[in-house]
Structure 1
Amino acid sequence: MKKISMVGMLVMAFILLNQQVSNGCTNFLVSKGASVDGSTMITYAADSHTLYGELYFQPAADHPEGAMRKIYEWDTGKYLGEIPQPAHTYSVIGNMNEFQLAIAETTFGGRQELGSQDGAIMDYGSLIYVTLQRAKTAREAIEVMTALVEDYGYYSSGESFSIADPEEVWILEMIGKGQGEKGAVWVAVRIPDGYISGHANQARITTFPLNDSKNCMYAKDVISFAREKGWYNGTNKDFSFSDVYAPVDFGGARFCDARVWAGFNKVSQGMESYTEYAKGIIEHGGENDFPTNRLPLWIKPDKQLNVQDVMGMMRDHFEGTELDMTQDLGAGPYGLPYRWRGLTWEVDSVTYCNERAISTQQTGFSFVAQSRSWLPNPIGGILWFGVDDAYSTCYAPMYCGITEIPECFAVGNGDLLTYSETSAFWAFTQVANFAYLRYNDMIKDVKLVQKELEDKFVAFVPVIDKAAETLYNTASEEQARKFITEFSVNEAEDMTKRWKELGQYLLIKYADGNIKRESNGEFTRTETGMPASPIFAGYPEWWYKAIVNARGEHFKVIGSSH
């Protein structure tokens, strides 16, 4: 009992020390050599109970000398200050700009004393969206982001950023310097070609090369600052960014790195050796007593990945592992792989936890950003964009060079407290929430339509690429942009319409806890045109046994056999 109570205390400590982590997000990063077609990819699930799914759009613009840009905190909308505008800013669709540069993030929090900085105005969200307006490559993005926090201070807690252009994929980890200081300490490393990486609200960079500017960049005081604070006294070569600035604990492993483990597990054999770590069991050792059984920062997948493989990495509830959310009593009679919050709960003064999977109910939006070096920039970048729960969403191709946002994804088309008939978010939320009621049956119907649409998109894209490239080379960039805009807008709107039809179908099929009979794609009627008697599916036997074990005598039919 004492050991379990200690685990519970560690869980609560993790939550308290990381209370500023408002968005539990997940990213995966795929280098050129790890993809089937030589594209780079990064993913993002923007998970928050207060985030609405919509697609941001910042058109390219010219700015007069002296123009200023107002900075608002992304999480709260709070005004923080303003910074000078450059002469020209680039077009940005969501988290990808017109040069195929894409940036995503997850918040790791880190040392609590570094979580605030008086006078700072650059929060992590503003860093992303300002940088996308100013940088063309991943390396340039790192330079812009680190210069912005040096000049204007860093407003957020610790953050991991995924940064990709058509050639390279980088992970940048940053944490502020706390009160009385300005800026941040940070490390950025390039994912080796042929490898994939991931992060999910736990800092992942440990040791890093000190003399390899091709593959690593870092703040000049990233080690000396830790020494000044008394947090590290070992050698420079053994310095670990994560273990010093954001040490992993039970929560960091079980709630965060376990998601990375799950994604890796979908594309690589051998991840079972990290199961104990994913369960929150951390081993320590060595001169600095750092963890010794942590997940590697990157792995080589068993095969090169296509965009649908990467979408699949975002769709996971630990199925087939010891943490499988469909296999315990909490899943209910219909195998629901979700647990309503909070993340931890207490019985008889002992703290227990729910799993935190990649796919979760509180996702605002998610995407797979794909950058392709062999195409002109406006055509080469695709933001495969979806709203709500990543497991049941559908990823629609939004080319990075489009000049208009589909109404179904438009900012202001509804919000989390305002329903809109034309909003994709509300269409997908309705389907997902209805499916949660009888999950193991309904999700099969949802996945069929999801596959139907995504297979169509993947088949269409090469044709659209070729036509757009021809227009780009023989007519004009403007004509090419108009063409890909029409395609992206039309497909997103048609997808939303199809999803609303799916919602109507599910309502008819599963109304009142029954299942309507079907034949040849239509609901079955009797010879006289009446609805056929439905299937009374009931509950699985194990669920009935659980009821009997809990209150069998109460429900027992009098006179039945013993």
Structure 2
Amino acid sequence: MCDTFVVLPPATAEGTVILGKNSDREPNEIQSFEFHPPADYPESAQVQCTYETVPQVRHTLGVWLSRPFWMWGAEMGVNEKGVAIGNEAVFTKMPLRKDGGLTGMDLIRLALERGESAENALEVILQFLADVGQGGICGFTDKTMAYHNSFLIADPSSAWILETAGEEWVAKRVDTYATISNGLTIGDDFDRSSPTVIDTARRKGWLKSGETFSFARCYSDWFYTTFSASRKRKSCSHRLIEAAEGSFSVAAAFRLLRDHGGEPYHPDGHFLLNRICAHAANRLSRFAAQSTNSMIAELRTEGSVVWSTGTSAPCTGVYLPHRITGEIRPEDWDDRQGVAYWLRHEHLHREVLRDFAHRIELYRQERDEWETTLREEVSSRGLDADRELALRREAGEREKGWLETLRDGPIHHPPLGYYRGFWRKQNRKLRRLQDSL
């Protein structure tokens, strides 16, 4: 379960395109923020995705990926051409394919490695939907988790929403801004569609004679769409974007992806996944419900920047800037580094959870002030490879100090017993996972 948004000029403060996403997944599923350099391949090369092998292209672009550590694909990312993509699980009436196919995350990575513009990346996804199809189990420990996908695809001048239901799909060009959560949103106002999308709905009895076709109404599964609380999260994203009054910025994007619907926040105090900054709490309604990484791409014709926490719980982490270019030392930002950085932060994250409303305030102001300094620095002086690495080291040192402060302090208001028990169990499982890596 996730939330993704895009804001285009003239609604942005600096005339950039801003795409952001929180990736909400199982609490112990490590998500590595990593760089894969551009590469060349022989004509007959193949690429092994999570479940399927597909033909490789002769050249792939350099990509930043936010990748769950066990799969080939990515939850979100951006390439050296300034194309950024995030996806959402959507629940539809069309049959699920669980024994193969390309996951939505595979489709993101394939599109980023090959797409030089948003529309080009859209075409890559559509071609793979037609040639291979979407499918596969998408859960880390939950091996029943399967779904269809929606996507937000952006570049420095345009953006598209793509929503799918099995082999059927519709696509809509974004005018000013758009948000997607875990539900279909496009009615009859799409710009492109699969050739049989209306006929399929009519044949299955979802479109009655005389009715106007709506993709969302015809294809949505009511139960899972409703209980994912996607409508509430989507409306919250809309409200926060509109509140910027045409001056949406990277700072506003930070606030949006950290939003809890009000402060002080108590993560043990609600049942559904109805907050943008998501916190896992139980196996029933808030398990695949932890924001395990957060990314914001600030896209411009030259000098695009991607900001990512590289960690779980953006409210507890630090957004660090990264250059969007094909000329990055891959050994500095490979999957091993991404996994290690994520795991180190979990010590801080899980200490905060022991008394969230009190403990987050012990370092929130210092963190926010440092991020403001970083945004000003990137805006005025740019970013080079050495500075990128120095910032990651500094973030690690700052988090180490914050962790010591938390461990030395009292717990004023411990969470409810069910919540403490859930996280004790997750902590044991994470230790076993670390031992196996």
Q: Secondary structure of the residue that 1:161 maps to in structure 2?
A: strand
| Matches of 1:228 and 1:249, distance apart in 2 | 22
Structure 2 CA distance for partners of 1:139 and 1:506, relative to 1, 3 Å: same
Q: For 1:91-240, what aligned pairs fall within 5 Å after superposition?
A: 91-94=62-65, 95-111=77-93, 113-116=94-97, 121-155=101-135, 157-176=147-166, 184-192=167-175, 195-209=176-190, 216-234=191-209, 238-240=212-214
8 A Cα contact 2:266 2:356, kept in partner: no
Tell me the alpha carbon deviations over residues 382-427 of structure 1, each in whole angstroms, 9 at most, x when there is no partner.
Answer: 24443110222211011111513585x6413485xxxxxxx33233
Question: Which segments of 5 or more consecutive residues in structure 1 lack a partner in the other structure?
Answer: 1-23, 73-79, 177-183, 210-215, 270-300, 332-336, 345-353, 416-422, 466-482, 514-537, 544-562
Specify the structure having the higher radius of gyration (Cα).
Answer: 1
Amino acid at match of 2:201: A
| Matches of 1:384 and 1:438, distance apart in 2 | 25
Identify the residue that residue 16 of structure 1 maps to in structure 2.
Answer: none
Q: What is the aligned counterpart of 2:235 among 236, 239, 261? A: 261
Q: What is the aligned counterpart of 1:58 among 24, 36, 42? A: 36
8 A Cα contact 1:106 1:161, kept in partner: yes
Amino acid at match of 1:340: A
Identify the residue that residue 282 of structure 2 maps to in structure 1.
Answer: 341
8 A Cα contact 2:3 2:181, kept in partner: yes
Structure 2 CA distance for partners of 1:361 and 1:442, relative to 1, 3 Å: farther
8 A Cα contact 2:33 2:338, kept in partner: no
Q: For 1:251-290, what aligned pairs fall within 5 Å after superposition?
A: 252=226, 255-268=229-242
Range with greater deviation from structure 2 (126-135 or 255-264): 255-264
Structure 2 CA distance for partners of 1:403 and 1:143, relative to 1, 3 Å: same
1:38 equivalenced with 2:11 (yes/no): no
Identify the residue that residue 59 of structure 2 maps to in structure 1.
Answer: 88
Tell me the alpha carbon deviations over residues 194-242 of structure 1, each in whole angstroms, 9 at most, x when there is no partner.
Answer: x322111111112224xxxxxx222122112222223213458x21111
TM-score for the superposition, normalised by structure 2 = 0.80
| Matches of 1:53 and 1:143, distance apart in 2 | 27
Q: C-alpha root-mean-square deviation of aligned residues, in Å? A: 2.9
Structure 2 CA distance for partners of 1:330 and 1:99, relative to 1, 3 Å: closer
Amino acid at match of 2:283: G
Aligned-pair CA distance for 1:263: 2.2
- Structure with greater contact order relative to length (CA < 8 Å, sep ≥ 6): 2
| Matches of 2:279 and 2:162, distance apart in 1 | 31
What is the aligned residue count?
387
Tell me the alpha carbon deviations over residues 501-531 of structure 1, each in whole angstroms, 9 at most, x when there is no partner.
Answer: 21112222x14x4xxxxxxxxxxxxxxxxxx
Identify the residue that residue 394 of structure 1 maps to in structure 2.
Answer: 318
Identify the residue that residue 487 of structure 1 maps to in structure 2.
Answer: 387
Aligned-pair CA distance for 1:59: 1.4
| Matches of 1:328 and 1:428, distance apart in 2 | 21
1:246 equivalenced with 2:225 (yes/no): no
Identify the residue that residue 428 of structure 2 maps to in structure 1.
Answer: none
Range with greater deviation from structure 2 (140-149 or 258-267): 258-267
8 A Cα contact 1:383 1:400, kept in partner: no
8 A Cα contact 1:385 1:398, kept in partner: no
Aligned-pair CA distance for 1:41: 1.3
| Matches of 1:133 and 1:267, distance apart in 2 | 29
Aligned-pair CA distance for 1:253: 6.5
Structure 2 CA distance for partners of 1:190 and 1:248, relative to 1, 3 Å: farther
8 A Cα contact 1:108 1:159, kept in partner: yes
| Matches of 2:270 and 2:218, distance apart in 1 | 36
Aligned-pair CA distance for 1:340: 1.7
Q: Secondary structure of the residue that 1:171 maps to in structure 2?
A: strand
Aligned-pair CA distance for 1:498: 1.3
Identify the residue that residue 529 of structure 1 maps to in structure 2.
Answer: none
Tell me the alpha carbon deviations over residues 73-120 of structure 1, each in whole angstroms, 9 at most, x when there is no partner.
Answer: xxxxxxx23111112111111111000000111101212x421176x5
